[in-house]
Structure 1
């Protein structure tokens, strides 16, 4: 009988927990090196409502995508071999609850170190986690960013 009460208690707990909402705040950036054009291409995926809250602009506003690009430009810095690189935005799109932002930096002949400062949404959401996955000449590296760890560096 105690076993039945214990199991029903655990099941009840799971039912109650399923009704709780937990916000998960994250961005994901993929970095690909294109050897032919000597370019690092970045694709960043963000939650539409989170970025909308951070920049304080409704996603249906005409200037929303321009403000998102400006926000990313102010909160994402790249250094190749300790030299700062200029980011050029190549596009963006909103797909339901996801905003995709595309940018790149050219003139990258060789990468021995890649340092990134990523503060996307960190000031708006204290538990924000930003991931960056890098593919460079067959090597794969992953960086993570959060409050207190806004800068990360990898070597190739």
Structure 2
């Protein structure tokens, strides 16, 4: 006699324990093996700043920081983040003060609809952490994985360029 679907409990259906540091807090979680980091953040942890744009890693709306580096949360399985330090847009501000990159986006009006803004800001902070962008052309190239349907690219580059020296000061970056 064969088992019914409700009786079947394959190991792949089991939740997996993971521990990660999320926005400065250690979290012990149980996740299904196919849960993406984006779905974990948005659906289970109610951190909705990271957006689901294309769900294929092509738009950058879901960009978060893993150990200070940019990743697409829609392409990253949550189980791959066991032991990682994750920062979302919600975790960038500190002690009631906006991160210098967040403030630069406001100052330079680097958003219109705002949908891509969390991913843009996290990507820009990751770009600073990577230490690879020194010129406007490098900023533009290294931010090219983050799309803005409104076309605010000039202001985004202005904001990142203005925030670079502030973020590179001790205590200014992540």
Q: What TM-score comes out, normalization by structure 1 length? A: 0.26
User: Larger helix proportion, structure 1 or 2?
Assistant: 2
Q: What TM-score comes out, normalization by structure 2 length? A: 0.25
User: Larger strand proportion, structure 1 or 2?
Assistant: 1
Higher normalized contact order (CA 8 Å, seq sep 6+, divided by chain length): 1
Higher-Rg structure is 1
